[in-house]
């Protein structure tokens, strides 16, 4: 199968994208499940929970740093080889985590797993967009991201359950097995698609000369720092609304389910109305939802309603942003999506630190207010970035 042209969308791209989504499910499960296993990891490795939490930090930082570097080094490889290699590295990292007898080795293994995860997720999104063509690009990306949201709804709870029934190492073996199932499926089913680039590490600097791409990456950091602050501290934000872990589990389940619907809806809307229009609308509405979030802290029913709205909107940002980045970048979009993943994981790291400072200084009730301010900033940056340098703003610049 030849690579699709810029305007021609191939038929039957959905089955291939579904295979990529399964790989994203494996990667996403790893990213979400570790946080739920921290107490048992800490006990097993004889470290504090805070020290065990550094496994998440190391994974996020490694992901952010390695994503563009690995994308540049593999830019000339066939996409199928990149994806299979990424899952193999990811599986190896998780296998080492499961076998490691010491904290230091577990910490190092998270770097290996992050390398595979970063390379896979960025390449999968770009490959799905390539296979679908211009007209259905948003829907293709949303299907890949469906694997991530499904990991939040199904994979993480399943891994946590297995970790509770057996131990945390069994959960890591589950993640390893998922990757080992996805790799041959992608290797056998994905059509041939050639890479764009010559494997020069300096290539990853080229997109950073485009001010609109840089602006969108900065917007990504701002937006997702705002999105992840309330999510990271959801147990504190909604503490008055629930009693025990069952109430929190309900909130997280609702968040994941509504986020899945939001992700798929955003893909359709981005194809129909243009990604920038969707980003501006969603970030503005999300700012209002965060501003009203403290009103839902009193009862579980109100908290569920707020979480449903926030989850839907939060997962409606990532697909349009990747859609817009790929549109701006053209050829070599795998490199662009890797930079997007770096920005996303930088936001995850910043949200933990900024949220902790705000929690200590202002209290849990005001964390959503900080998130609302950041969403307004993201909307403003998105509109400003739509204006081409040296030109009078036009609606096509701002909204398409």
pLDDT at 169: 93
Answer yes or no: do 196 and 294 share one domain. Answer: no
Distance CA 169, CA 49 (A): 16
- C-alpha 96, offset from chain centre: 24
Answer yes or no: do 182 and 290 share one domain. Answer: no
Answer yes or no: do 282 and 345 share one domain. Answer: yes
Answer yes or no: do 353 and 326 share one domain. Answer: yes
Answer yes or no: do 183 and 310 share one domain. Answer: no
Domain range spanning residue 370? 210-400
Assign residue 260 the CATH number of its domain.
Answer: 1.20.1250.20
Answer yes or no: do 55 and 129 share one domain. Answer: yes
- The tens digit of pLDDT for each residue in 279-296 reads 999 999 999 999 999 988
Answer yes or no: do 181 and 222 share one domain. Answer: no
Report yes or no: 82 and 367 within 8 Å, Cβ to Cβ: no
Report yes or no: 383 and 391 within 8 Å, Cβ to Cβ: no
pLDDT at 285: 96
- The backbone torsions φ and ψ at residue 245, rounded to the nearest 5 degrees and listed phi first, read -75, -25
Last residue of a domain, one of 204, 224, 243: 204
Answer yes or no: do 138 and 196 share one domain. Answer: yes
- C-alpha 367, offset from chain centre: 21
Q: How many domains, in total, are found in the chain?
A: 2
Answer yes or no: do 82 and 166 share one domain. Answer: yes
Answer yes or no: do 221 and 200 share one domain. Answer: no
Answer yes or no: do 166 and 215 share one domain. Answer: no
pLDDT at 201: 55
Last residue of a domain, one of 204, 226, 246: 204
Answer yes or no: do 196 and 308 share one domain. Answer: no
pLDDT at 87: 96
pTM value? 0.74
As a whole number, the mean pLDDT across the chain is 82
pLDDT at 6: 42
Range 101-112 average pLDDT: 95
Last residue of a domain, one of 151, 184, 204: 204
């Amino acid at each position: 199968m030849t690579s699709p042209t810029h305007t021609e969308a191939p038929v039957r791209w959905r089955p291939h994208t579904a295979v990529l989504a399964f790989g994203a499910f494996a990667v996403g499960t790893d990213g979400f499940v570790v946080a739920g296993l921290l107490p048992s990891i800490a006990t097993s490795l004889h470290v504090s929970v805070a020290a065990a939490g550094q496994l998440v930090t190391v994974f996020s930082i490694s992901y952010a740093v390695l994503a563009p570097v690995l994308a540049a080094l593999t830019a000339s490889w066939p996409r199928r080889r990149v994806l299979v290699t990424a899952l193999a590295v990811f599986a190896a990292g998780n296998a080492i985590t499961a076998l490691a007898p010491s904290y230091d080795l577990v910490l190092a293994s998270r770097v290996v797993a992050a390398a595979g995860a970063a390379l896979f997720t960025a390449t999968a999104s770009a490959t799905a967009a390539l296979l679908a063509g211009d007209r259905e690009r948003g829907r293709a990306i949303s299907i890949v991201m469906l694997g991530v949201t499904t990991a939040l709804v199904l994979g993480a709870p399943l891994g946590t359950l297995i970790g509770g029934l057996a131990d945390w190492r069994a959960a890591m073996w589950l993640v390893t097995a998922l990757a080992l199932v996805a790799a041959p499926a992608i290797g056998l089913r994905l059509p041939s698609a050639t890479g764009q680039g010559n494997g020069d590490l300096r290539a990853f600097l080229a997109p950073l000369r485009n001010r609109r791409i840089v602006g969108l990456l900065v917007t990504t950091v701002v937006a997702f720092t705002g999105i992840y602050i309330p999510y990271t501290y959801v147990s504190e934000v909604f503490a008055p609304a629930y009693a025990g872990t069952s109430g929190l589990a309900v909130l997280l389940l609702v968040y994941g389910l509504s986020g899945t619907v939001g992700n798929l809806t955003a893909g359709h809307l981005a194809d129909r109305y243009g990604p920038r229009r969707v980003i501006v609308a969603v970030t503005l509405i999300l700012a209002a939802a965060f501003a009203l979030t403290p009103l839902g802290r009193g009862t579980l029913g109100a908290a569920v309603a707020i979480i449903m709205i926030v989850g839907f909107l939060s997962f409606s940002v990532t697909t349009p942003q990747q859609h817009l980045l790929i549109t701006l970048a053209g050829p070599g979009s795998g490199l662009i999506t890797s930079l997007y993943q770096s920005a996303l994981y930088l936001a995850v790291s910043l949200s933990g630190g900024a949220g902790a400072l705000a929690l200590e200084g202002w209290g849990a009730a005001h964390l959503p207010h900080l998130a609302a301010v950041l969403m307004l900033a993201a909307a403003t940056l998105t509109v400003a970035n739509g204006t081409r340098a040296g030109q009078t703003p036009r609606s096509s610049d701002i909204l398409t």
